[in-house]
Chains A and B, each alone.
Chain A
Amino acid sequence: MRVGVFICHCGSNIAGTIDVAKVAAEMRKVPGVAFATNYMYTCSEPGQDEIKEAIKREKLNRIVVAACSPRMHELTFRRTIEKAGLNRYFLEMANIREHISWIGLDKEANTNKAIESVKMAVAKAMNNKPLYSQSFKVNKRVLVIGGGVAGMQAALDCADGGLEVILVEKSPSVGGMMARLDKTFPTIDCSICILGPKMVDVAQHDKIKLYAYSEVDDIKGYVGNYQIKIKKKATYVDWVKCTGCGACMEKCPAKNSYDHFNFGVAPTRAINIPFPQAIPKKAKIDPNYCRQFVKGKCGVCAKICPTGAINYEMQDEIITEDVGAIIVASGYGLVDMDKFPEYGAGRYPDVITGIQYERLLNASGPTEGHILRPSDKTEPKTVVFVSCAGSRDKSCGIPYCSNFCCMYIAKQAILTKDHIPDSQSYVFYMDIRSPGKGYDEFTRRAQEDYGAKYVRGRVSRIYPKGKKMVVVGADTLLGTQVEVEADLVVLATAVTAAPGAPQLAEKLHISYDTFGFYVEGHPKLRPVETNTAGVYLAGCAQGPKDIPASVGQGSAAASKVQALFSKDMLESDPAVAKVNENTCVGCLKCIMTCPFGAVKEKELRGGRIVANVIETVCAGCGVCTATCPCGAIQLSHFTDNQLLAEVNTICQK
């Protein structure tokens, strides 16, 4: 065994707090190490050339690179050694940057830790075996989950590139949150006017198959070959027959149904088409309110419908689609008002949320674009906007910034003045965050041209006083207490992960953060990838962001899928579980625990039953290896013996 060790300085990132020359010198004393050196930037072209040359010159057959996280450059160095003729799995990395130099200032302690860490990597490398990938065919169809602006953009870009797209939208129409907005910052152009045509394109594109009011039920398979079970929820209206004429909605006697599209600003009918531009423009029954379901008799819509589309007996339906890649664009949710007892916790009708206000501003909203207070339907003259309702508030469990509220508050203040010229808006804010192109100018315009009064401070309490709502807050710039008697209060409620986001992540086997937002492959360099091959992210599902950023991610995710599908065959990762048939006792416990269903029973010629891993399905998670009592199932590249070699290196003195 001839191991070569390359210690990277990473400029001063590593060399600043680790004596890299000493680490290299120590490695030269380790049995099996034939060559050890340190270099300024190992990942640079000359750095990689040095590795290749050393492999030839020193006849090295195992390589250890001590540098940054393998997440960063493992692939880089695997390719390097492969070019020099070694199996790519003969590479081992020691992460002496994120794990050592970045987290400690004591150079001596760091150096000692680095020496141990690199020794462990050497021990592992000496136990590494050559592994070989298999190639398999790619199914060039893509599933997009979520039909908001991000998902639609991704679907259209994929379809325009010639790929077949399956678009699954949970609600009855595509459009997402953007379809609910009135105008959009910073240009104040009508939201549905720019979104509507995209929605129509989605509906009419011959490469896009849209499943609205549907959810992903189950996902099986792996990059290139997924089997997706889609649950089409019962709408109780046959969408093939429904023409979207709306006659049913007019006649439905259940007039007090909750309007999900309008976030409950006004009631809707039990049978409804969510909004005039809905795609598909089809009716659906809400069985929580429909009299036929609640009371067992009504049938008005069935009588009125000219095409006989109503079907009270309809059941959920499961459809299977095969795809090769998945784009997740499931968007965001908003925190509930009842999180805010100090703001009345949703008890005062004239304290509403930003998205509800969008609906009041919107010409196709329940008030036809007239701003009317929910309590008495009068025009508010004093409107108070409260930013960061929940956001950046650790006590609310939401330490992060919701990204776009500052901007939409400015937009809504401008629109308020446009709608009601003698009105006055107040904005309570913590900081104004408007770093986008033209954004700061926009928030200034709200103040300077539209006279919105910005008060820097948190609102401590809101309470009713006659017909008014009194907003009590601090002005931290003046150091005084402020009270405003408002007609209407708008809370910029914090953005949360979409409802059900963690459950969807589990189905997709992607990671999510503490808040339920999906975690990207790398915060800078892989913003739309996940750590699961074949699954990409777009829009607010990854974190709060505005429309331009969501659209940009939609296109980016689509281009990633195009790149993936540019090949007909993909290579499997050989770092998967493998069963030693000689020692497997056939207890089949591994089958019970494998979260991917990758282990199957196999009968050997003598009739003995053993476990068998389907290589392409195995995700290399290692759950089975922890289950197997006799160690018969081992994860290639992370075998017990490989890990034990590392442990023994630091434990045996």
Chain B
Amino acid sequence: MGPEKMKEIITDVLKDVDVVIGYKQGFDKLHATPCFINKAEQIEEIIWSPVCVQNLASFLPSLKAKKVGVVVKGCDSRTIVQYMQEGLIDRSKVVVVGIPCTGVVSVKKVLDKVNHQPIEDVVFEADGAILVKTPAGETKLSLADVSPDKCSTCLYPTPVVYDHLAAEPIKSVKAPEDVYKDVEEFEGKSLEERKVYWEKEFDRCIRCYACRNACPMCVCQDSCIAESRDPHWISQKSNLSEKFMFHMIHSIHLAGRCVECGECERVCPMGIPVNALKKKLNHDMKALYNYEPGVNPEDKPPMYTFSVEEKKIEEHKL
């Protein structure tokens, strides 16, 4: 599937929006970067391939005042639905160009495979193979081997919300019960094992906040409680307990809101599997409230509703 159909759609969409957000090539063929198109001549820059990893929907709340077209993959589209549920965007001012997606690459995984050599070229072949050229030679990879974990259990390859679709819809062949298999497996470990695991992971955290900044659902941005003195929940010390606290806050704030786009994990320079924590909470939210974020615009995130009696939480025994 080439970007031609997408370009056609965007040419059309551009006529009645202020800006369209899509992908263009970054500093090499392995890296795509978001591009903001407001002139027809920019349309040629647009690319679409498995290197288009970023969740472009994340830009929408900050562009609330404008009419915006946005290119989204299936996973990214859940962000839009969640924004709708939380009232963070005005759907009538967003034109969604959906791309049915067969999987993206994890740049980290590819680089690992080619020993972090400079990338000279990346070619995606029709059979799903990827040819990566580096000064050391050519490496043939299969997409399945280098795609991020989220792709292996993706239930929504076709966007759950869109105005235009750039290709034929694709049905997911993944089993819904596999989505939280990793969480369930991890839960099977002892408390001590889990503690040791996370302490080791968090110890590497440099509190760069990249995970938070990339997260489409982290609405606070510059008002983040992790950097606030009033209230002063957490200090700026770089010790394990404060790092732990930061991640607990981040996770709790995303309970039943995380759309599992994996951006947090993708951007972490220290390779910390931060998305796992949010998945764990989503798993619990599903059990408690039968709620899955970002799939149905009519749903209400359970943490943003107030009901006197919760079905699965016993308070009054009447």
Nearest residue, chain A, Cβ from B228? A631
The answer on a CB contact under 8 Å between B230 and A587 is: no
Answer yes or no: B317 CB below 8 A from chain A CBs. Answer: yes
Residues of chain B within 8 A (CB-CB) of A588 are: 87
Residues of chain B within 8 A (CB-CB) of A627 are: 303-304
The answer on a CB contact under 8 Å between B306 and A640 is: no
Answer yes or no: A390 CB below 8 A from chain B CBs. Answer: no
Answer yes or no: A506 CB below 8 A from chain B CBs. Answer: yes
Residues of chain A within 8 A (CB-CB) of B230 are: 580, 631, 641
Residues of chain B within 8 A (CB-CB) of A514 are: 316-318
The answer on a CB contact under 8 Å between A585 and B232 is: no
Taking a contact as CB atoms closer than 8 A, the residue among A502, A594, A632 that contacts B223 in the complex is A632
The docked-state distance in angstroms from the alpha carbon of A595 to that of B223 is: 25
Interface size class of A (residues with CB under 8 A): 20 to 34
The answer on a CB contact under 8 Å between B232 and A587 is: no
- The prevalent SS among residues of A at the interface is loop
Closest-CB distance, B289 to chain A (whole angstroms) = 14
Closest-CB distance, A642 to chain B (whole angstroms) = 9
Task: Given the known inter-chain contacts A592-B304, A593-B306, A631-B231, please indicate yes or no for A587 contacting B86, CB distance below 8 A.
Answer: yes
Answer yes or no: B225 CB below 8 A from chain A CBs. Answer: yes
The answer on a CB contact under 8 Å between B306 and A589 is: no
The answer on a CB contact under 8 Å between A630 and B306 is: no
Q: Pick the most buried of B219, B223, B230, B305: most chain A CB atoms within 10 A of its CB.
A: B223
The answer on a CB contact under 8 Å between B225 and A641 is: no
Answer yes or no: B140 CB below 8 A from chain A CBs. Answer: no
Closest-CB distance, B303 to chain A (whole angstroms) = 7
The answer on a CB contact under 8 Å between A502 and B316 is: yes
Closest-CB distance, B255 to chain A (whole angstroms) = 11
The answer on a CB contact under 8 Å between B225 and A630 is: yes
Task: Given the known inter-chain contacts A502-B318, A514-B318, A640-B231, please indicate yes or no for A589 contacting B225, CB distance below 8 A.
Answer: no
The docked-state distance in angstroms from the alpha carbon of A632 to that of B86 is: 18
Answer yes or no: A583 CB below 8 A from chain B CBs. Answer: yes
Answer yes or no: A650 CB below 8 A from chain B CBs. Answer: no
Answer yes or no: A629 CB below 8 A from chain B CBs. Answer: yes
Residues of chain A within 8 A (CB-CB) of B253 are: 629
Answer yes or no: B224 CB below 8 A from chain A CBs. Answer: yes
Nearest residue, chain A, Cβ from B231? A640
Answer yes or no: B236 CB below 8 A from chain A CBs. Answer: no
Residues of chain A within 8 A (CB-CB) of B317 are: 514
Residues of chain A within 8 A (CB-CB) of B308 are: 506
The answer on a CB contact under 8 Å between B220 and A516 is: no
Answer yes or no: B122 CB below 8 A from chain A CBs. Answer: no
Closest-CB distance, A63 to chain B (whole angstroms) = 24
The answer on a CB contact under 8 Å between B233 and A644 is: yes
Task: Given the known inter-chain contacts A585-B219, A588-B87, A593-B306, please indicate yes or no for A629 contacting B233, CB distance below 8 A.
Answer: no
The answer on a CB contact under 8 Å between A629 and B225 is: yes
Residues of chain B within 8 A (CB-CB) of A200 are: none
**Chain A contacts with B in 614-653, Cβ cutoff 8 A:** 623, 627, 629-632, 634, 639-641, 644
Residues of chain A within 8 A (CB-CB) of B224 are: 630
Residues of chain A within 8 A (CB-CB) of B228 are: 583, 630-631
**Chain A contacts with B in 388-440, Cβ cutoff 8 A:** none
Nearest residue, chain A, Cβ from B303? A627
Closest-CB distance, A578 to chain B (whole angstroms) = 12
Answer yes or no: B88 CB below 8 A from chain A CBs. Answer: yes
Answer yes or no: A584 CB below 8 A from chain B CBs. Answer: yes
The answer on a CB contact under 8 Å between A592 and B305 is: yes
Residues of chain A within 8 A (CB-CB) of B318 are: 502, 514-516
Residues of chain B within 8 A (CB-CB) of A589 are: 86, 304
The answer on a CB contact under 8 Å between B223 and A583 is: yes
**Chain A contacts with B in 325-376, Cβ cutoff 8 A:** none
Task: Given the known inter-chain contacts A514-B317, A593-B305, please indicate yes or no for A644 contacting B220, CB distance below 8 A.
Answer: no
Residues of chain B within 8 A (CB-CB) of A630 are: 220, 223-225, 228
Nearest residue, chain B, Cβ from A580? B230
* Contact string against A for B residues 217-250, beta-carbon threshold 8 Å, 1 for contact and 0 otherwise: 0011101110010111100000000000000000
The docked-state distance in angstroms from the alpha carbon of A442 to that of B303 is: 58
A-B pairs with lowest CB-CB distance, top 5: A640-B231, A630-B220, A630-B223, A631-B231, A583-B223
A interface residues, Cβ below 8 angstroms from B: 502, 506, 512, 514-516, 580, 583-585, 587-589, 592-595, 623, 627, 629-632, 634, 639-641, 644
Q: Other CB < 8 Å A-B pairs besides A585-B220, A629-B253, 12 of them?
A: A512-B316, A514-B316, A580-B230, A585-B219, A587-B86, A587-B88, A587-B219, A588-B87, A589-B304, A592-B304, A631-B233, A641-B230
B interface residues, Cβ below 8 angstroms from A: 86-88, 219-221, 223-225, 228, 230-233, 253, 300, 303-306, 308, 316-318
**8 sample A-B contacts, Cβ–Cβ < 8 Å, listed by A number:** A584-B223, A585-B221, A587-B88, A589-B86, A629-B220, A630-B220, A631-B230, A640-B231
